[in-house]
Structure 1
Amino acid sequence: MNYKQSAVLLLAGASFASLSSCSILENSLQGGQAFNIAAASTPEASPPPSAEDRPATRIMAIHVGGRMAEVELTLLNQPSLPFTTYFPAKDFKPQSIASQAGTGIRLVYSPQGKPRSNTYVDIVQPQQKATLDQLRDYVLDPQGLLAKNQWQLVDRTNIVSYPWVKEKLIYRQQTPNGTIEGAVYLGETEGQAFYLMTHYPEREISRFESLGTIALENLQFRDED
């Protein structure tokens, strides 16, 4: 794969992590309008609901800060993405993100309603159709996503608990305010690649990873029954 061709295809000139034009959608999903949240429906016991028919909210029990807690999740149903998923709306504020490289959503960690700009989950779909290899090249290219943000690749693996993940690229960055950690999760469906990315200060790992990975765990492709 020619790294330059991949970088041109994906127009990697602008990194999602440094987007300044993101706008927090109004009313934080009140009324279920901002991200086309599906109207509440009652799923049948069998078969399970498709991605299009998933209920608008659900309750999930997770470990948070070393103890079990029930968290209310909101359906994220963005038509431009080939999947739907859930996220804890009480703890994350969604932003729409767009550049020449692609479009998507940033879920900004916002405990007590206070957004933390350096703690988030990105869900990104390239503007142009890209294969898994091309997207991987874009992330790892000497002028790609990791390099432009001065993130150092520390590990990579294709052994991941989420079945849709083709490869996990783990990165780290040393800053004056401490260590930043995160991972880029590469996925592909019907020849179209996409990625979900976590980004957070090392000190936030306990709580953020429990909440931030909910979107990864609950991803369901639209063509799945």
Structure 2
Amino acid sequence: MNIQFIKLISVVTLLISVTACNSESQQKATSDNRVITEDKTVVIDSKSSQKPPSKTATILVEGEKNSIDLKLYEDKNLFSTYFPPEDFVVATETSAQQKEVKFIVNFGGVKNEDAYLKIVFPEQLQNIEAVKNFINGENGLIASNKWKIVNRNNKLTYPWVKEKIAFSKGKDIVGDIYIGAEKGKVFYVITHLPIEYVDGFSAREDLIFRNLEIGG
């Protein structure tokens, strides 16, 4: 009788422990309001898309023309573009503050978190001036990352660009910040990469930008 009672107590204790662990995990998941996903060929909300899921393009790298396969990335509420899935891993992060889509370099199957193109739609910033202040402020994006401004350019390389800021960090990292606005949406784009990636990255960056369409 005593043995059965001890077994019963053990089972009850185990159930309580499992329930407590599950409850803690659920609370942790609920408290983190960010949703992060990663996929090499992700396409979001494109069931009704009129765009082809893939296509080919030609890029010029070190003076040589190369054919490259492109994959559609589409979030109908924000933007669409094409990117080379063999060269980038796509990571998306959604929170109450912003929606971020990051194309991380994966050249030759080697992922490098320091080399990326990131498109950010900030929910709290409603106009170009607010985005500029966020980027250039005393405690803004540039200052907090300890980036050094190389130059500023107001030339409209792409129709959505309102300003381009080139930056560097030390001797090894270079990049650009593009401040954009189109169809009532404001956003910014960051390219960030080791200097040795510049030639291969620039041609692929141009493909993403030339195919970029901001949603309605």
Q: TM-score, normalised by structure 1?
A: 0.74
Could you tell me which amino acid in structure 1 is paired with residue 44 of structure 2? Answer: N
Is the helix fraction higher in 1 or 2? 2
Q: Distance in 2 between matches of 1:179 and 1:80?
A: 36
CA distance in 2, matches of 1:159, 1:117: 29
What secondary structure sits across from 2:111 in the alignment?
Answer: coil
Q: Structure 1: how far apart are the matches of 2:62 and 2:35?
A: 30
Q: Which residue pairs with 1:25 in the alignment? A: 38
The structure having more radius of gyration, on CA atoms, is: 2
**Hey, what's the Cα distance between the residues in 2 that align with 1:145 and 1:107?**
19
DSSP 3-state at the match of 2:149: strand
5 Å matches for 1:93-108?
A: 93-99=89-95, 101-108=97-104
Mapped to 2, the partners of 1:22 and 1:201 lie a distance apart of 28
Say whether 1:56 aligns with 2:53.
yes
Identity of aligned residues (%): 27
* Shift, 1:129, TM fit: 4.6
**Larger RCO (CA under 8 A, 6+ residues apart):** 1
SS at match of 2:75: coil
Using the TM superposition, name which of 188-197 and 132-141 deviates more: 188-197
Residue among 142, 164, 168 paired with 1:146: 142
Question: Does 2:44 correspond to 1:36?
Answer: yes
Q: Do the aligned partners of residues 180 and 99 (structure 1) sit closer, same or farther apart at CA in structure 2, a change above 3 Å counting?
A: farther
Compared CA separation, residues 98 and 148, structure 1 to 2 (3 A): farther
2:81 is matched with 85
Deviation by residue 1:63-93 (Cα, 9 ceiling, x = unmatched): 1233100111111102341x21111111000
Give the secondary-structure state (helix, strand or coil) at the position aligned to 2:138: coil
Contact 1:22 1:95 (8 Å CA) reproduced: no
State the shift of 1:113 in Å.
Answer: 1.6
Runs of 4+ in 1 over 6 A off after TM superposition: none
Q: What residue identity is the alignment partner of 1:166?
A: K
1:47-77 CA deviation, whole Å, 9 max, x = no partner? xxxxx42211111111123310011111110
Question: Are the counterparts in 1 of residues 72 and 82 from structure 2 also a CA contact under 8 Å?
Answer: yes
The correspondence of residues 165-204 of structure 1 with structure 2, limited to 5 A, is 165-174=161-170, 178-204=171-197
Deviation of 1:24 (Å):
5.1
Q: Tell me: CA distance 1:146–1:124, structure 2 relative to 1, closer, same or farther (3 Å).
A: same
Q: Counterpart of 1:131?
A: 127
Structure 1: runs of 5+ lacking an equivalent: 1-20, 42-51
Q: Equivalent residue of 1:138, what SS?
A: helix
Mapped contact 2:94–2:100 kept (Cα < 8 A): yes
Name which of structure 1's ranges 61-70 and 143-152 shifts more when overlaid on structure 2: 61-70
8 A contact 1:183–1:197 mirrored in 2:
yes
Aligned length: 183
Which residue identity is paired with 2:38?
L
The alpha carbon displacement at 1:222 in A equals 3.1
The match for 1:13 is: none
Cα-to-partner distance string for 1:167-202 (whole Å, 9 max, x where unaligned): 11111110xxx4211111111124431012110111
Q: Against the structure 1 CA distance between its residues 208 and 191, is the aligned structure 2 distance closer, same or farther, given a 3 Å change threshold? A: same
Cα deviation 1:17-68 (Å, max 9, x = unaligned): xxxx885524x32xxxx332746x9xxxxxxxxxx42211111111123310
